């Protein structure tokens, strides 16, 4: 039989002879992830089962990234549950404040996720790791608890939709724009319980950070994961790898439920308008939209290349008076790189703040909650009603260059117009 990359990875983790979309399979997971919101529930269920030891101490990660450094007593208690469980079980990959980062940037950085892996996480943006050619998907806390027990999980085999991007990207256009454009074309349910497989000449030249941004937002189209077949760029990123891995690629005659082909040569930077990631418009159509706050960071665009792009726009300049600029590097390593390269200084001198790694305001956590009537442009992944604070606030999503340019002008701005 012929298979897609997603089907090959799932099949390899089941022990079955063949699978097909729609099948329910019990699969062995290579890695399981929980954070300070979801892991406490999984830990509670694990303890109810009276199991003494987790299935593998080195195949679990616990990352307190959503409300940390703890914003209040409740968040402190959530983080404490993770810390105590990690000590009890001697879990190797527990990341405390000071060595942690936003989970979906941290795990690839630490090379805990590799091509061909089957990864589950009790967080919807676990799909980020599909950029490495792994089958990575979000699950519930009870599914995570079961994985803690025996390293297995029940999954439904999804069909695959293939996206082929042709042409050459214009300046200031990257992975975030490609995925926003895609979601704008197919809608927030356009890939519901499917795999989004990103391919074509544009993807083949796309750096890893841009690939992560695309796979990260596959869930915003309803997908289980966003996969990119491993190539030379992938292998350079993961090596030297801490353990063996296997590269899978789709068969030439693999069956796809749909195939989309787009020439993106004329694509402008894209902006998702309130209140859906699919409400996408070219930046040129929004130039009169005023903003009160700019957030650069998150598991979508908090990597070092994102910060470099934003710093290039902001260097030697000041943000619009009265506007707030919040910059959040995704990991401690990225934080240090930004300090060493002078990027952090650029943000502070421009009038912004440079935060410790955290999810922060992305999910309405802390360090940047919006008040009623306020407007924010952010490099985050969701702009639902009340996502970043007041139900009467407004969030626009963009790439880091657009966000930085908007901070300078006080309104949504094309980076080319900010010079």
**Is 70 exceeded by the pLDDT of residue 333?**
yes
Fold for 5-261, please state it: Aconitase; domain 3 (3.30.499)
Q: Does residue 358 have a pLDDT over 90?
A: yes
Please give the Cα distance from 203 to 175 (Å, whole number): 9
Q: Please state, as a whole number, how many other Cβ atoms lie within 10 Å of the Cβ of residue 316.
A: 7
The pLDDT tens digits of the residues spanning 28-87 come to 999 999 999 999 999 999 999 999 999 999 999 999 999 989 999 999 999 999 999 999
Q: Are 296 and 379 spatial neighbours (Cβ–Cβ below 8 Å)? A: yes
Average of per-residue pLDDT across 126-151: 98
The predicted structure's pLDDT at residue 1: 85
On whether the CB atoms of residues 224 and 128 are closer than 8 A, the answer is no
CB atoms within 10 A of CB 405: 27
* Domains of the chain by residue range: 5-261, 270-417
What is the spatial order of strands in the sheet that 394-397 belongs to?
A: 280-282, 270-272, 394-397, 375-378, 293-296, 324-327, 353-354
* The pair of three-digit structure tokens given for residue 44, joined into one six-digit string: 């509670």
- Strands (DSSP E) found in 97-177: 118-121, 135-138, 152-156, 159-166
* 346 confidence band (pLDDT: 50, 70, 90): very high
- pLDDT of 214: 98
Q: What is the pLDDT of residues 88-103, one digit of tens each?
A: 999 999 999 888 899 9
Cα-based angle 287, 386, 366 (whole degrees, multiple of 5):
95
Given this chain, do its domains 5-261 and 270-417 carry the same CATH topology?
A: yes
419 — pLDDT class (breaks 50, 70, 90): low
Compute the mean pLDDT over every residue in the chain, rounded to the nearest whole number.
Answer: 96
Query: Contact at 8 Å (CB) between 34 and 121?
Result: yes
Give the whole-angstrom CA distance, residue 40 versus residue 69: 17
Phi and psi at 37, nearest 5°, equal: -95, -45
Give the right CATH number for 270-417 from 3.10.110.10, 3.90.79.10, 3.30.499.10, 1.10.8.60: 3.30.499.10
Question: CA–CA separation, 354 vs 328, rounded Å?
Answer: 6
**End-to-end Cα, the chain, rounded Å:** 55
The encoded tokens of residue 204 equal 């083949």
* Range 293-310 average pLDDT: 97
Structure-block tokens of residue 410:
């006080």
Alpha-carbon distance of 219 to 127, in angstroms, equals 7
> What would the pLDDT profile of 226-237 be if each residue is shown by its tens digit?
999 999 999 999
Look at residue 155 and tell me whether its pLDDT is greater than 90. Answer: yes
The DSSP element (H or E) to which 24 belongs, if any, is strand 24-28
* Residue 304 in this model has a pLDDT that exceeds 70: yes
């Amino acid at each position: 039989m012929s298979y897609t990359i997603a089907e090959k990875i799932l099949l390899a983790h089941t022990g079955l002879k063949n699978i097909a979309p729609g099948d329910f399979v019990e699969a062995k997971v290579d890695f399981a992830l929980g954070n300070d919101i979801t892991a406490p529930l999984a830990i509670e269920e694990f303890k109810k089962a009276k199991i003494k030891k987790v299935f593998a101490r080195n195949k679990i990660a616990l990352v307190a990234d959503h409300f940390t450094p703890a914003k209040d007593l409740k968040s402190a208690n959530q983080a404490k549950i993770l810390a105590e469980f990690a000590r009890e079980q001697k879990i190797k990959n527990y990341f405390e404040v000071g060595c942690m980062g936003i989970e979906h940037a941290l795990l690839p950085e630490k090379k805990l996720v590799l091509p061909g892996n089957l990864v589950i996480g009790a967080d919807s943006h676990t799909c980020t790791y599909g950029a490495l050619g792994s089958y990575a998907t979000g699950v519930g806390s009870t599914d995570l608890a079961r994985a803690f027990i025996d390293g297995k999980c029940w999954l439904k085999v999804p069909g695959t939709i293939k996206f082929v991007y042709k042409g050459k990207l214009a300046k200031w256009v990257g992975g975030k724009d490609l995925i926003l454009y895609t979601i704008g074309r197919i809608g927030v349910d356009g890939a519901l319980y499917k795999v989004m497989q990103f391919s074509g000449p544009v993807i083949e030249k796309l750096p890893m950070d841009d690939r992560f941004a695309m796979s990260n937002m596959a869930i915003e189209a309803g997908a289980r994961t966003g996969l990119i077949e491993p190539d030379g760029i992938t292998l350079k990123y993961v090596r030297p790898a801490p353990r063996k891995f296997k590269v899978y690629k789709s068969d030439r005659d693999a069956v796809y439920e749909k195939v989309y082909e787009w020439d993106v040569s004329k694509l402008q930077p894209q902006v998702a308008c309130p209140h859906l990631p699919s409400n996408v418009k070219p930046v040129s159509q929004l130039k009169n939209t005023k903003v009160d706050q700019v957030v650069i960071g998150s598991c979508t665009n908090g990597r070092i290349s994102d910060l470099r792009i934003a710093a290039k726009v902001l260097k030697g300049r000041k943000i619009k008076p009265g506007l707030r600029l919040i910059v959040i590097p995704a990991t401690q390593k990225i934080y240090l790189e930004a300090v060493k390269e002078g990027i952090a200084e650029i943000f502070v001198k421009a009038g912004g703040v440079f935060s410790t790694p955290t999810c922060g305001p992305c999910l309405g956590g802390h360090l940047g909650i919006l008040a009623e009537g306020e407007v924010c442009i952010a490099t985050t992944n969701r702009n639902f009603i009340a996502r970043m604070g007041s139900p009467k606030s407004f969030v626009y999503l963009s790439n880091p260059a657009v966000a930085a340019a908007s901070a300078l002008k006080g309104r949504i701005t094309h980076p080319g117009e900010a010079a």
